[in-house]
Amino acid sequence: MDRRQTKTRQAIIDAFVRLLAKHSYEKISVKDIIDAADIGRSTFYSHFETKDELARKMCLMLFKHIFSHTIPPCSTHNFSDVQPTAENRIAHILYHLRDKRQYYLGIINYDEGSLFLRFFREYMQENLRIIVAGPNRLKIAQVPEDFLISHIASSFIGMVRWWLKNNMRQTPEQVASFYMTLINPAIAEFESKQEPQE
């Protein structure tokens, strides 16, 4: 993607974010986004197939940053000098959701979080090993992998929505600790079923 395309893509995202600050997700149309970004319809569709696809790409950008192999330092927090753990990564994503709430809260709140949940589950399916530590291929005997992914993703959305209802009073570290206290037994069970690669 060349510089002009990158600039246009960012203009579309920025226009969508501005609209999300004023309107609920379901009330924003592609035409609204096109008008706010001051671009043609064909330009929008050359970057995103639908409004949901735009939201999906925004969320995947977040997930890719959050679950990178190393946690980069950010302006409001820094986990780069500590061992990356699932709890640190959860706190990291919560900082981003808080700091860039105008980007994501409209998507999280839409349809009880089902859209964001779908995107998060999709990313988890491709990157489960980043969440549950261990370089080996993960296997499980009693709990299917897709069930574990669904459980982790659904409980993550529940955690975020609980935090929002409490006006984000707790720190990201506190909420991440609450979450991992509940999710660790599932991860431990999953990890206990790992089989080393030949």
Rounded mean pLDDT of the chain? 81
Give the closest residue to 152 by CA, choosing from 129, 131, 168. Answer: 131
Q: Where in the chain is the domain with CATH 1.10.10.60?
A: 1-48
The answer to whether residue 97 scores a pLDDT higher than 70 is yes
d(CA 37, CA 156): 32
Q: In CATH, which of 3.30.470.10, 3.40.50.300, 1.10.10.60, 3.30.930.10 is domain 1-48?
A: 1.10.10.60
Question: Is residue 187 very low, low, confident or very high in pLDDT (cuts 50, 70, 90)?
Answer: low
pLDDT for res 173: 94
Written as one string, the DSSP assignment of 34-84 is: HHHHT--HHHHHHH-SSHHHHHHHHHHHHHHHHTSSS----SS---TTS--
Q: Per-residue pLDDT tens for 106-129?
A: 888 888 778 888 888 888 777 665
Q: Where in the chain is the domain with CATH 1.10.357?
A: 51-192
The domain defined by 51-192 carries CATH number 1.10.357: yes
In sequence order, what are the residues at sequence separation of 6 or more whose Cβ sits closer than 8 angstroms to the Cβ of residue 83?
Answer: none
pTM above 0.85, yes or no: no
d(CA 167, CA 20): 18
